[in-house]
Amino acid sequence: MKKVCFGIDIGGTSIKCGLFDDSGQVLDKWELNTRTEDKGKNIIPDVATAITEKMAEKGLSKADIIGVGVGIPGPVDEAGNVLEAVNLYWDFVPLAKELEDTLKMPVKVGNDANVAALGEMWQGGGRGYQNVVMVTLGTGVGGGIIIGGKMISGTNGAAGEIGHVHVVDTIDEICNCGNKGCLEQVTSATGIVYLANKHLAKSEQESCLRGSEVSAKAVFDAVKAGDVLAMEVAEQFGNYLGNALKTIAVVVDPEVFVIGGGVSKAGEILLDYTEKHYRDNIFSACKDTKFSLAELGNDAGIYGAAKLVLS
Amino acid sequence: MKKVCFGIDIGGTSIKCGLFDDSGQVLDKWELNTRTEDKGKNIIPDVATAITEKMAEKGLSKADIIGVGVGIPGPVDEAGNVLEAVNLYWDFVPLAKELEDTLKMPVKVGNDANVAALGEMWQGGGRGYQNVVMVTLGTGVGGGIIIGGKMISGTNGAAGEIGHVHVVDTIDEICNCGNKGCLEQVTSATGIVYLANKHLAKSEQESCLRGSEVSAKAVFDAVKAGDVLAMEVAEQFGNYLGNALKTIAVVVDPEVFVIGGGVSKAGEILLDYTEKHYRDNIFSACKDTKFSLAELGNDAGIYGAAKLVLS
């Protein structure tokens, strides 16, 4: 029998679990609720139970298991310690060690956005590449940096926190991080709504976006329908994101940028606007860097977590 | 006898050579002229001869040599191919392979700025750290990224090209890279002169910088002497560099920024102005990132080249 591994993606409301073989085939996939009460003290035992029960169900022994990879919504250091995870109500948790002590198997832990980037590199939009920067455009903006096939966590677990690259000088609102002018404020789902509302307020231009609540999806649907004001919003979005990626290109010089998260459901048009501004005046060595859409959706985390113990 | 290695730093006018033991002690150090005529075809034979002559002089056999590391002023791929080196009059040169074929020893090759960063991590201002970003402020601005003790070259050899991070929207002059608004244009030695001349032209402020040719050294000497206009120039310099490093912090999250190059001879005052702007509104996880001055000067390249074959 082929050896297998577990990929676990712990979120604030659910824990996604996957059983994989070492070629990247998912053999089983299931979810648990995240029990965050009592400072999330049940989470580790729940994960351990989920794994031992699945092993019993599948007739797997410890010798069959390569290890367990885990993604966490918070900063994680190189040793697999979670420094903090607000959504799990965790302060410092030495997760790799605690789960290893319980399961007696190798455990690796990473930040969920970084782990998702690793998943996309392995089996998603970055397949075939070793140097990947993933950008996740959701409620916020996250990211992950993969160099030579390995995830970069950073000294303080802050590598790939590209939502907090400074891109706007002229903004009054404060970012969730406490600063002003972050990429997240203008290219997340909420950031796109912010840009659209600014455009709607300052212009008389007719637009199908007027008169109802604006969403990022509505903006890109309107772009596809040829709405001029929506296209201006998309230009501004592409300008901010494309310029941030230019900077990232001269720092880590990836082969491919993979764009994921809820906003990326807009599809190729999102890449069009971003690439256009990226390629305008890019440092020449980086002019051919590829762009692709993420492919794994909410499963990127379990894939990447599994890959943590395979690489 | 301890094993040894060679660190070679090939520049446009001279080739610096070092013989090191595996603990980082330099055993010998010498230079050759770079013969760039005939498209630099003598450079590789000259390096090979320098090495074999030094081996004969020191009574070293091939079994004593761990390998030869080489730094090159141009982009280098992971396989040790030089993609281009304008100052050597080289187009594509498969340097690692050619030198290995000649010497029958392991050869590793890297971009000179990246290699200098590795040298500073090993035996200079980044000693004791594994995650280092080096910024070289010279005629231009270069850089190098070290993650987990390893140099990052990037897909196109453009990793660490942080002189071309975009930092100014309002500039008419064109950067050497063909774009506008690059970090290099405002924080290199020539960039600081540019900033100073702008300040001198637009202000009536008395300054010891008036009436003679301005240099980066003169600006920082004037700052130390309390010259108000020079201090304004230093603030602007610190603002551009500090902000660029903030962005780099949320991409690769280093333990330390090492500042080197001719401009860094200004000393601690350069760090003061840079750190002040870095720490203002930095993403909180990165607020304690350290700053230090480079220590190896022009020898950083031979140290880093040697470390290439030791790591």
Q: Which of A158, A165, A251 sits opposite B159 (nearest CB)?
A: A251
Q: Which of A249, A254, A281 sits opposite B179 (nearest CB)?
A: A281
Residue of B76, B130, B153, B156 to mutate, testing the A interface (most A Cβ within 10 Å of its Cβ): B156
What residues of A are in contact with residue B154 (Cβ under 8 Å)? 131, 252-254
Q: What is the pLDDT of residue B178?
A: 87
Residue A1 has pLDDT above 70, yes or no: no
Residue B111 contacts A, CB cutoff 8 Å: no
Q: Which of B153, B243, B288 sits opposite A166 (nearest CB)?
A: B243
Q: What is the pLDDT of residue B104?
A: 97
Residue B246 contacts A, CB cutoff 8 Å: yes
Q: What is the pLDDT of residue A27?
A: 96
Of the candidates A176, A140, A143, the one whose C-alpha atom is nearest the C-alpha of residue A162 is A143
ipTM here: 0.92
Q: What is the pLDDT of residue A177?
A: 87
Q: What is the pLDDT of residue A176?
A: 87
**Which structural domains are found in chain B, ordered by start?**
4-121+299-310 (3.30.420.40), 128-295 (3.30.420.40)
For chain A, what is the mean pLDDT? Answer: 95
Do the Cβ atoms of B253 and A156 come within 8 Å? Answer: yes
Q: Indicate the range of A22-26, A119-123, B121-125 predicted with least confidence.
A: A22-26
- Tens-digit pLDDT profile for residues B91-118: 999 999 999 999 999 999 999 999 999 9
Instruction: Please state the length of chain A.
Output: 311
Residue A44 has pLDDT above 80, yes or no: yes
Do the Cβ atoms of A255 and B155 come within 8 Å? Answer: yes
- Tens-digit pLDDT profile for residues B55-92: 999 999 999 999 999 999 999 988 999 998 989 999 99
Q: Which of A152, A166, A180 sits opposite B252 (nearest CB)?
A: A152
Do the Cβ atoms of B247 and A75 come within 8 Å? Answer: no
Phi, psi of A126 (to 5 degrees): -110, 15
Q: What is the pTM of this model?
A: 0.93
First to last CA, chain B: 20
Mean pLDDT (whole number) for B2-10: 95
Instruction: Give the Cα separation of A223 and A208 in Å (integer).
Output: 10
Q: What is the Cβ-side half-sphere exposure of residue A253, based on CA atoms within 13 angstroms? A: 26
Residue B156 contacts A, CB cutoff 8 Å: yes
Of the candidates B253, B284, B283, B148, the one whose C-alpha atom is nearest the C-alpha of residue A158 is B253
Residue of A86, A153, A250 to mutate, testing the B interface (most B Cβ within 10 Å of its Cβ): A250
What residues of B are in contact with residue A249 (Cβ under 8 Å)? 158
- Tens-digit pLDDT profile for residues A156-177: 999 999 999 999 988 999 998 8
B143 min Cα distance to partner chain A (Å): 9
